[in-house]
């Protein structure tokens, strides 16, 4: 699994930080979270293949989070993409879709499904579950978590002891199916170890500190949390419905997350501002990093 930060600024970008976007390579897929202007150019500087992006999750429809969508979709089409792409987002997505398709001579000749969602499970497979959660910004905004489903260990010795022949029945049991051995039913729980927690990544979108993000992020391996301002600019954060570094750190602490990555950094005051931010957060939550454009995290 790999997280690639494509853009880490807030509404005002800088030479160092492009508008928000995060790529996640996981489960044979590439997923994008938000898509600020210039995301497709940032992708050129990574190992991410834009043609492999299968899902885009939008947190909300402020320009800095969506203005890369029209260009990315048109470029995919120009490169001959045929496979479907799904764009998820909160209420208002159909309006965004209509604007994308009416912005000049828009050429998007492959299927793009736009799915308006609310809090709840967005997608669940045998391997993972993606959950959306409404958070508290000044427009409808969703945070997202993606959690790996990790199978319990298969107790091979125990299976042999119970008479299960080495072969395909091992796989069936590991996948949660019962098997019959010499007229006797063997249940998965007889040959599986303790439940194991998979990797969980949570991305806050833009939000004020709130219970909803703490609840969604519970026990995350990595919480990627917006941190637009330093503590001193708390009034600014409140006015624009954002979080400070301290807010982000408490969200990590109270959600029992393992690691915190600060992103959506105000660039108005330069990179020194980001350093202050990091120090502030670490006083509350030690295992904190600050995102930088093109930073990659392997899990």
- Asked if residue 293 belongs to a known ligand binding site, the reply is no
Least distance CB 37 / a copy of itself (angstroms): 4
- Closer Cβ to a copy of itself, 67 or 284, answer by number: 67
* Window 124-143: residues binding a copy of itself (CB under 8 A): 139
Reading the block at residue 87, the tokens are 């764009």
Say if CB 15 and CB 8 are below 8 A apart. Answer: no
Reading the block at residue 259, the tokens are 């690691």
| Separation of alpha carbons 256 and 224, rounded Å | 13
Binding mask 82-121 toward a copy of itself (x if CB under 8 A, else -) reads ----------x--xx-xxx-xxxxxx--------------
Residue 11 binds to a copy of itself (criterion: CB under 8 A): yes
Least distance CB 12 / a copy of itself (angstroms): 7
- Asked if residue 264 belongs to a known ligand binding site, the reply is yes
- Closer Cβ to a copy of itself, 70 or 209, answer by number: 70
Say if CB 2 and CB 297 are below 8 A apart. Answer: yes
Answer yes or no: 29 catalytic.
no
Residue 92 CA: distances (Å) to CA of 74, 95, 279: 21, 6, 37
- Closer Cβ to a copy of itself, 91 or 151, answer by number: 91
| Separation of alpha carbons 58 and 100, rounded Å | 14
Sheet holding 120-124, edge to edge: 120-124, 128-135, 141-150, 196-203, 222-226, 259-263, 288-290
Say if CB 11 and CB 48 are below 8 A apart. Answer: no
Least distance CB 78 / a copy of itself (angstroms): 6
* Window 21-40: residues binding a copy of itself (CB under 8 A): 37-38, 40
Q: Which of 31, 24, 128 is closest to 88 using CA atoms?
A: 31
Residue from 5, 6, 13, 174 that binds a copy of itself (CB under 8 A)? 13
DSSP for 235-283 reads HHHHHTT--BHHHHHHHHHHTT-SEEEEESB--TT-HHHHHHHHHHHHH
- Closer Cβ to a copy of itself, 36 or 288, answer by number: 36
Residues at the contact surface with a copy of itself, assessed by CB under 8 A: 11-15, 18-19, 37-38, 40-41, 44-45, 60-63, 65-68, 70-71, 74-75, 78-79, 92, 95-96, 98-100, 102-107, 139
Catalytic residues: 64
Please give the annotated binding residues for Zn(2+), written as ranges: 60, 62, 64-65, 137, 206, 264
């Amino acid at each position: 699994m790999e997280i690639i930060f494509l853009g880490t600024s807030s509404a005002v970008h800088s030479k160092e930080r492009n508008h928000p976007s995060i790529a996640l390579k996981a489960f044979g897929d590439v997923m994008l979270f938000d898509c600020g202007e210039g995301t497709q150019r940032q992708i050129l500087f990574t190992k991410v293949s834009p043609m492999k992006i299968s899902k885009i999750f939008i947190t909300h429809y402020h320009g800095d989070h969506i203005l890369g969508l029209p260009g990315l979709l048109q470029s995919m089409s120009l490169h001959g993409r045929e496979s479907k792409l799904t764009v998820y987002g909160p209420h208002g997505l159909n309006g965004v879709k209509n604007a994308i398709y009416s912005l000049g001579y828009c050429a998007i000749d492959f299927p793009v499904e736009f799915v308006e969602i609310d809090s709840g499970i967005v997608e669940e497979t045998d391997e993972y579950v993606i959950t959306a959660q409404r958070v508290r910004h000044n427009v409808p905004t969703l945070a997202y978590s993606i959690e790996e489903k990790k199978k319990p260990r298969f107790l091979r010795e125990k299976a042999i002891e119970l008479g299960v022949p080495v072969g395909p029945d091992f796989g069936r049991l590991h996948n949660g199916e019962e098997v019959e051995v010499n007229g006797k039913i063997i249940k998965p729980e007889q040959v599986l170890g303790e439940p194991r927690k998979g990797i969980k990544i949570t991305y806050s979108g833009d939000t004020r500190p709130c219970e909803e993000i703490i609840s969604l992020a519970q026990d995350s391996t990595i919480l990627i949390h917006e941190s637009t301002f330093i503590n001193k600019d708390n009034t600014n954060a409140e006015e624009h419905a954002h979080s400070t570094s301290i807010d982000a750190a408490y969200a990590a602490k109270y959600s029992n997350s393992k690691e915190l990555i600060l992103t959506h950094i105000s660039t108005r005051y330069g990179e020194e501002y980001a350093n202050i931010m990091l120090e502030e957060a670490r006083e509350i939550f030690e295992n904190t990093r600050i995102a930088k454009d093109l930073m990659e995290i392997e899990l």
